[in-house]
Structure 1
Amino acid sequence: MPRVSFAPPSMCLTFLPVLGRLLPSLPPTVQDVDVPPLFREQFILSGYRPVGLSWRCYVLSLLQIHNETLNVWSHLLAAVCVLMRFTMFTILRGGGILGFRLQGPEGQGLSVDVSSLPLVLYVFSAVTYLSCSVAAHLLQSHSEQAHYSLFLLDYVGVAVYQYGCALALCLYSAEAAWTRSMLGQIFLPAAALLAWLSCTACCYAKLHFRRPYPLHKKLCQVVPMGVAYLLDISPVAHRLATCSWTNNSALPLHFLQVVLFLLSAFFFSCPIPERFSPGRYDIVGHSHQLFHIVLSFCTLAQQEALFRDFLWRRPALVRDFGEERLLLACASFPCLTLCCAMTALAMRRRARTQRTKEQR
């Protein structure tokens, strides 16, 4: 596999000296044996960025071809698409931007549209997990400390997205029969607990196990996240099983996002296709890249389905749930985010202290 390094674009000879200073050439990518075991991926033999470069080099590696390029760009473009689609929706169909509306000349100015706040939190959670993933894959090669810190941040972003999905699906996509059921009554507290548990388990697995990772490291990550997903998707699963798809344009999109999520979970769990041809899929086509790409499409499909459910449920949402209950549900979102962030920070500090003692 050829080694590719970044070079400044030759737009105009006059600007080449300036561009040469602003965008210096980066070191070429290296083989797996040239980086510490922590930074190696199973069956990926080349395309690694050298460890210990400046932060600037890793930021500029956004424009370099290496084995993380597709991981970064797939989620970066997905985050841009989520924001652009949300902006178009709020302006054209949502009746207010970011949950706020302008009142008339005799009104009080800006007023909060409570029914749209869960949708805003969902979009925020989607952009958060995509952005955390971009930061982790783009910058993690800086150092061991940066690697651990950024991937713990990535797990916090995933937990935030899990709960953002649960909140939106519970309020916009659930049928009345499911909402009145026992599962519907305990859904949000259980979803928050499972999101926190999945974040904690992923952080523990990342800090506790060393390469080559054993199978139970992957199980420690997949099982809690799988249980959380089964709960979070239950409003949609009930609706898909009990409602007619012919008169509801959101249901095919919900079915699509379920299929895409299951496919992404497969690629996350199994190193396919690189297992069967190590080195061939280093730059393009390895399982984590496929996981990122499929999950990006899953997020976009889910967002589109929620937009349609939002328009369907918005007129009666405040009446059915009550304004105080909606505000309380939305207030649980930053609480969950803070709990996950504090847990990841505490586990990182404890792991660093433990490593320091071992080195002595």
Structure 2
Amino acid sequence: MDNPSPEPRTVAWQDIPQWRQENEYILAGYRPMKANYLQVIKSLSFLHNETWNVYTHLIGAVLLPPYATAILRTISGPQYIDVTRTDFIMFNIFFCSAESCLSSSAVYHLIGCHSHEAEQLWHRRDLLGIVILTVGTFIPGIYYIFYCDPILQKIHWTIVCHSGHLDTLSAVVFCGSATAALISIPKFRTLRWRKARVSAYVALGASALIPLLHGVQVYGLEYMLEYSGMKWYLVELLLYGGGCGIYAVRTLSFPFPSGISVMREISDLGAQFRIPERIAPGHFDIWFSSHQIFHVSILCAICVNVIALMEAFTACHTLDICYIQSVHQARGTRL
């Protein structure tokens, strides 16, 4: 009697369920469906088309806590003047939001071959991680841009939070609530709310420009480029923006029994961003696909944001930044 052949480690695109067929340009390297979580975890030991997606953010999630600890020790150094508890809160908001994003992303890409229910659950958490990281980036950035003007800080926190009148750091708890609700609550994941979901993502991302442009208006471009970390925020926006179209098409598509996708109307337009696999289908199944590149861009953006925060923090705690702001503000008024 012949022994049954072992299950292949990976299968082709046509061999996976329809709800997993998100990218028709990735032709192979898919893991078969695995009802056992242990088998899912074992897939960490061999190469498949989610390996890069899992490990980039898994390694990032593991390395981030010691990196954050080193940064927090640095900002507590004697070279910095008048460092307060709020400074540590601001840095921790960013690091915790980044950890949430990276860990949720790693689990989502690992668990996707378990079941449709598990994939959908972690899909939503992955999306929420993006919202949390976006807001967690804004909060400390706004704090240091308007370091000497608490009123402007709270105004911009309120804009980001979309939660009405917020006048304390408790605003952080409610940040991005509109976007988070549109992702998490089943009622809002129907076709009726499609435009609202897309609009919420676009509005949340675009709101990053509001404090930067306002800072330029109040203090001038020279100040913003030299002291606020703005040049690094612009690099960060480019890194996020470079993969935004890829991510939006892939992750905002919630399949329904009818086969209709929430983003189907724009999927044909968005598919053109799936480069390089769109140019050479089958050649980027394992390495260098568009979503993998986007994962790397997220890691780079996190590092760039730390540079921006450190630049602004250093200016605020080694210079008389309020005097410098007033000089630039007066200069702008005269102009």
Q: TM-score, normalization: structure 2? A: 0.69
CA shift, 1:148, in A, is 0.7
> Using a 3 Å threshold, how does the CA distance of structure 1 residues 253 and 80 change in structure 2: closer, same or farther?
farther
| Equivalence for 2:13 | 32
Residue 265 of structure 1 is aligned with which of 244, 268, 289?
Answer: 244
Please state whether the residue corresponding to 1:275 is helix, strand or coil. Answer: coil
Q: 2 CA distance for matches of 1:233 and 1:81?
A: 29
Query: How many residues end up aligned between the 2 structures?
Result: 270
| Equivalence for 1:57 | 39
Q: 2 CA distance for matches of 1:26 and 1:221?
A: 40
Q: What per-residue deviation string (whole Å, max 9, x for no partner) do you get for residues 218-261 of structure 1?
A: x7655422210221343234446733277448343222212212
| Equivalence for 1:188 | 157
> Using a 3 Å threshold, how does the CA distance of structure 1 residues 234 and 88 change in structure 2: closer, same or farther?
same
Equivalent residue runs for 1:57-76 within 5 Å: 57-76=39-58
Q: Kindly indicate whether the alpha-carbon contact (under 8 Å) linking 2:161 and 2:176 is maintained by their aligned counterparts in 1.
A: yes
Please say if 1:169 is aligned against 2:141.
yes
Q: 2 CA distance for matches of 1:221 and 1:48?
A: 29
CA shift, 1:149, in A, is 0.7
| Equivalence for 2:203 | 227
Residue 255 of structure 1 is aligned with which of 234, 245, 260?
Answer: 234
| Equivalence for 1:243 | 221
Q: What per-residue deviation string (whole Å, max 9, x for no partner) do you get for residues 121-161 of structure 1?
A: 11101111110000100112111110111111112222222
Q: Kindly indicate whether the alpha-carbon contact (under 8 Å) linking 2:34 and 2:40 is maintained by their aligned counterparts in 1.
A: no
| Equivalence for 2:307 | 304
Q: Kindly indicate whether the alpha-carbon contact (under 8 Å) linking 1:166 and 1:233 is maintained by their aligned counterparts in 2.
A: no
CA shift, 1:117, in A, is 0.8
Q: Kindly indicate whether the alpha-carbon contact (under 8 Å) linking 1:75 and 1:134 is maintained by their aligned counterparts in 2.
A: yes
Please state whether the residue corresponding to 1:141 is helix, strand or coil. Answer: coil
CA shift, 1:37, in A, is 0.8
| Equivalence for 1:336 | none
CA shift, 1:75, in A, is 1.4
Q: Kindly indicate whether the alpha-carbon contact (under 8 Å) linking 1:68 and 1:138 is maintained by their aligned counterparts in 2.
A: yes
CA shift, 1:295, in A, is 1.6
| Equivalence for 2:74 | 92
Q: 2 CA distance for matches of 1:42 and 1:206?
A: 25
Q: 2 CA distance for matches of 1:173 and 1:79?
A: 27
Q: Kindly indicate whether the alpha-carbon contact (under 8 Å) linking 2:156 and 2:211 is maintained by their aligned counterparts in 1.
A: no
| Equivalence for 2:85 | 113
Residue 83 of structure 1 is aligned with which of 65, 89, 97?
Answer: 65
Q: 1 CA distance for matches of 2:47 and 2:95?
A: 30
> Using a 3 Å threshold, how does the CA distance of structure 1 residues 251 and 263 change in structure 2: closer, same or farther?
same
> Using a 3 Å threshold, how does the CA distance of structure 1 residues 298 and 31 change in structure 2: closer, same or farther?
same
Q: What per-residue deviation string (whole Å, max 9, x for no partner) do you get for residues 182-206 of structure 1?
A: xx55322332237222233344699
Residue 128 of structure 2 is aligned with which of 156, 159, 164?
Answer: 156
| Equivalence for 1:354 | none
Equivalent residue runs for 1:333-344 within 5 Å: none
CA shift, 1:311, in A, is 3.3
- Paired residue type of 1:268: Y
CA shift, 1:208, in A, is 4.2
Q: 2 CA distance for matches of 1:164 and 1:144?
A: 30
Gap runs ≥5 in structure 1:
1-24, 102-111, 210-215, 320-360
Q: TM-score, normalization: structure 1? A: 0.65
CA shift, 1:78, in A, is 2.6
> Using a 3 Å threshold, how does the CA distance of structure 1 residues 206 and 94 change in structure 2: closer, same or farther?
farther
Q: Kindly indicate whether the alpha-carbon contact (under 8 Å) linking 1:148 and 1:206 is maintained by their aligned counterparts in 2.
A: no
Q: 2 CA distance for matches of 1:264 and 1:38?
A: 22
| Equivalence for 2:166 | none
Q: Kindly indicate whether the alpha-carbon contact (under 8 Å) linking 2:13 and 2:28 is maintained by their aligned counterparts in 1.
A: yes
Q: 2 CA distance for matches of 1:271 and 1:144?
A: 24
CA shift, 1:314, in A, is 5.2
Q: Kindly indicate whether the alpha-carbon contact (under 8 Å) linking 1:79 and 1:130 is maintained by their aligned counterparts in 2.
A: yes
| Equivalence for 2:178 | 197
CA shift, 1:302, in A, is 0.7
Gap runs ≥5 in structure 2:
1-5, 163-174, 249-272, 323-335
Q: Kindly indicate whether the alpha-carbon contact (under 8 Å) linking 2:225 and 2:231 is maintained by their aligned counterparts in 1.
A: no
Identical counterparts, % of pairs: 23
- Paired residue type of 2:283: R
Q: Kindly indicate whether the alpha-carbon contact (under 8 Å) linking 2:239 and 2:297 is maintained by their aligned counterparts in 1.
A: yes
